[in-house]
Amino acid sequence: MKRSEINGYIKEAEQLFRSYGYKLPPWAEWPANEWAKRKEECESIFKSCLGWDLTDFGSGDYLKRGLLLVTVRNGNDHEDVKPYAEKIMIVKENQETPFHFHWQKTEDIINRGGGNLIIELYNSDVNEEFSTGNISLLTDGIKRTIEAGGKILLSPGESITLKQGVYHRFYAEKGRGAVMAGEVSMANDDAADNRFHDNCGRFPAIEEDEKIYRALVGDYDRLISGGLQ
């Protein structure tokens, strides 16, 4: 992806967050050069991978298959003090986050505002493929059972609990607008706890065609070392 595209999507997301009255942590508005200046005091942010994150999952078509999110709190293996994580996400109409599950993490996905969020679900089998069995789950604490490949529609305010091993993909319903979605979960490790059904990339290769507007989690190392401006 081009940096100019990423910058544009982040600016758009900031407007949506403001329109829903959602406030990000102060560091979410820092200019790129601030991270190197404050690298010692921000050590926990780096270790926990807090911050802006945007991916096209290797598709080359972010609007078709992609996701923008901000990890606002998270535990990590270096500081055993937080067993939990929280994210805020912008999901566009028909923009797919592809089928995946987590080996370790249980999570709640919440529609915080906007349109309707559609989630498609399968259990995984012993070979980590789609199971044909029914799926038992909770939506806002209410027991539900759906068929393999079934869909759950979350209107604003509604949520779903996803246990380990449950394949899920999601997107905002066409014609209803983008969704501001939240995630509350066990501590999150995107580098080691995502099992995608189809091969896809988690972090995009970036063409640096303009200056960084907001640093992504994947930019931190190069910003701190001076290898990226």
- Helix (H) or strand (E) holding 11, with range, is helix 3-19
**Which strands, in side-by-side order, build the sheet including 135-139?**
51-55, 67-74, 84-91, 179-186, 107-114, 159-162, 135-139, 142-146
- Which residue, chain included where needed, has tokens 């802006």? 52
Give the integer Cα–Cα distance in Å for 80 and 65.
34
What tens digit of pLDDT does each residue of 107-154 get? 999 999 999 999 999 999 999 999 999 999 999 999 999 999 999 999
CATH topology for 3-98+107-114+175-225?
A: Jelly Rolls (2.60.120)
Highest-pLDDT range among 30-44, 77-91, 113-127: 113-127
- For the chain, the domains span 3-98+107-114+175-225
Arithmetic mean of pLDDT, 187-213: 91
Read off the amino acid at residue 57: F
Question: Where residue 100 falls among pLDDT bands split at 50, 70, 90?
Answer: very high
User: DSSP character for 173?
Assistant: P
